[in-house]
Amino acid sequence: EDQVTQSPEALRLQEGESSSLNCSYTVSGLRGLFWYRQDPGKGPEFLFTLYSAGEEKEKERLKATLTKKESFLHITAPKPEDSATYLCAVRISSGSARQLTFGSGTQLTVLP
């Protein structure tokens, strides 16, 4: 069974304190791994897509990396506006399946 596990469940950082969020996955075949940001009461906002081990993507203070078993979302010098829930999702490569399987998310709070 395809599984996506995110850790930690919650993370509190001081402004400027860099850290990483983890997404580990067990799937039959990975077609893509996706990171989203979700603010309270809103739909997920797309951040990154990663396809192969060793790939990295960056956007402002965020950098996503991918290995064969996990992905990391690195947050450098975070600001309070980075506070949100960060979701990881995978799409498997078998057959015609196009749906995403989501992890439970990491709730990030950045304190000023």
Partner 1 sequence: SAVISQKPSRDICQRGTSLTIQCQVDSQVTMMFWYRQQPGQSLTLIATANQGSEATYESGFVIDKFPISRPNLTFSTLTVSNMSPEDSSIYLCSVEGPGGTDTQYFGPGTRLTVL
In the complex, which residues of this chain contact partner 1 (CB under 8 A)?
31-32, 34, 36, 41-46, 49, 87, 89, 91, 98-105
Q: How far is the CB of 103 from partner 1 (least distance, A)?
A: 6
Question: Taking the complex as a whole, how short is the minimal distance between the CB of residue 67 and partner 1, in angstroms?
Answer: 19
Query: ∠ CA 6-8-12 to the nearest 5 degrees?
Result: 135
Of 43 and 54, the one with the shorter C-beta distance to partner 1 is 43
- Give the nearer residue to partner 1 in terms of CB position, either 36 or 72: 36
Contacts of 105 (CB under 8 A, 6+ apart): 6, 9, 38, 85, 86, 87, 88
Neighbours of 64 (CB within 10 A): 24
